[in-house]
Amino acid sequence: MYAIAAASGETTGWVIGYTVTIVIVIVVVALVVPILVLAHRIGNQAKDINDSLTQSVHNTAALKELHTTIDHAEVITAGLARGRTRLGG
């Protein structure tokens, strides 16, 4: 009878240790899985954002010529003003 009680006492520590370990692993997994899911979503959205920004760069490339257009418009309006002045207007 004493041998059974001694064996039972020795295995109780192991059972508690395994139980605590399993609980810790479950908690860690429960914390890490949502982080991985969010990281995956962010990765997918980052690709979409990058594609959109690339398209924006392509669509706005002509704006670098805006100063040239403004310069030409100023020359044209100055010429129109001179013409109006010569015509007496």
Domain enclosing residue 81, as ranges:
2-86
pLDDT, tens digit (0-9, with 9 covering 90-100), for 52-84: 999 999 999 888 888 999 999 999 999 999 999
Structurally, the chain folds into a number of domains equal to: 1
pLDDT, tens digit (0-9, with 9 covering 90-100), for 2-52: 545 455 667 888 899 999 999 999 999 999 999 999 999 999 999 999 999
Residues 13-38: b if buried by 16+ CB within 10 A, e if exposed:
eeeeeeeeeeeeeeeeeeeeeeeeee
pTM of the model: 0.50
